[in-house]
Amino acid sequence: MTQEVFSGIDIGSDSAVCVIAEVDDEGVLHIIGAGQSATSGSVLEGVIVDLQGASQAVSRAVAEAETLSSWKVAEAAVSISGSHVRGFPGRGTVNVEREDEYVSGKVTWMDIEDALETAQLIKLPRESMVLRTEKCGYTIDGSSMLQRPPVGLRAERLTADIYMITADRTAVLNLEQVIHDAGIGVSAIYPAATASARSVLTRDEMEMGVVLVDIGASTTDLAVYHSGALAHLSVIPVGGDSISMALQQIRIPRHEAERLKRENVDLVRGRKGQDREISVSTFGGRNTVPISGEAVNEIAYRSVGSLMGDILCELRQAGIQESDVPAGLVLSGGTSHLKGLAEAASRITALPVEVGRPGGVDVSSSLIENAEFANAVGLVLLSQEEEKEQEQRNRSNPLEKAASRIKGLIRKLR
């Protein structure tokens, strides 16, 4: 893989998705390949339960993307989900080395790194590991929540605010094993919620306050943004499959419940045609029984109401009020295709609700515009941004970097 090409792989409970993006001379990402393959029970609630099956699904998705793009995927950024993925805030403060007795010193990259490192000095459970550290903002001498690293500005003290995301170590190792078994290296691992958020949310929404709700088959990933920074992240172990299981209560097989959900559910109440009669197969496929469209929609609506209730409960437990997210909820993931879901969710939560679509890249295929590709598109966007940040650090004056390292060593020895 060259520096001009990025790949992202999302392994969900329903399917594995791969996208390949190429960077043009102006730095714009162009999606040049995409692939999708069913995971067929290899992933449960975001966690790998069948290494071979998941690896084969990844291989098929990658092969499809490679065929369209003519690029060979050597490494890729990967997303992770599951209720074990959690986040919490942290804060670290360091003194900036003074230039002399009267003049404050200039903030360096080493100061930034030391403040971030101090913010992470939290003892974690043995089974957990730090997955990502999201930078929320910086404070220098009265100027609070600066979004960009204040490198070069004079200050006495520097404070870094972060949001630390952890994951179960074993789950991460199993995810890496799946990718390696498919013959691909792992360049980075990102939480599914932040990857989808990067793809579908706008800067204005993040500044105002918004909740990204990525509804997959068996998990719902939440990412709350406020003032442009990540404020809360969590994963609810319930997804679109809960609607299918609710429909199965009318004694129909799983494939019929999935068909009903996909073709007949319409969550906007009072819409014409909801009183029509639908014929469904019973268990074993030996007979068919009639059911009204209104009954199907009522079952689905109750299931969606339960999911939205779980989301509101999670937000309130995190101390997030409706007034903190005036931009409302933005839905993503495969379940967001459900007809009338946005309208129903808005009615239940009393918040604005919209369905997000992948953005920030040049899309040559309408396939990528589907919500289930948002996660993988976000992965390539995050990978490009991380590389740009690293290049910016590498362009720093070598003498300044050497001096910063010495200052940092002295600070730690004191």
Predicted pLDDT of residue 413: 46
Side by side, the strands of the sheet bearing 220-226 are 229-236, 220-226, 210-215, 329-332, 353-355
The rounded mean pLDDT for the chain is 88
Lowest mean per-residue pLDDT among 44-53, 73-82, 208-217, 282-291: 282-291
Query: Strand 15-23 and strand 29-38: pairing?
Result: antiparallel
Q: How do residues 223-258 score in pLDDT, each as one tens digit?
A: 999 999 999 999 999 999 999 999 998 888 888 899
**Residue 54 binned pLDDT confidence (cut-offs 50, 70, 90):** very high
Q: How do residues 298-350 score in pLDDT, each as one tens digit?
A: 999 999 999 999 999 999 999 999 999 999 999 999 899 899 999 999 999 99
Q: How do residues 114-159 score in pLDDT, each as one tens digit?
A: 999 999 988 888 899 999 999 999 999 877 778 889 999 999 999 9
> Residue 307: left if φ>0, alpha if ψ -120 to 50, beta else—which one?
alpha
Q: Which amino acid is at 147?
A: Q
Greater confidence (395 vs 377) lies with 377
Predicted pLDDT of residue 414: 47
State the pTM of this model: 0.87
**Residue 212 binned pLDDT confidence (cut-offs 50, 70, 90):** very high
Domains parsed from the chain with CATH numbers: 86-168+396-413 (3.30.1490), 241-304 (3.90.640.10)
Nearest to 192 by CA among 230, 225, 221: 221
Q: How do residues 84-124 score in pLDDT, each as one tens digit?
A: 999 999 999 999 998 888 889 999 989 999 999 999 988 88
Query: Strand 143-146 and strand 47-48: pairing?
Result: unpaired
The half-sphere exposure of 217 on its side-chain side, counting CA atoms within 13 A, is: 17
Region 285-307: mean pLDDT is 88
Q: What percentage of residues in the chain have a pLDDT greater than 90?
A: 64
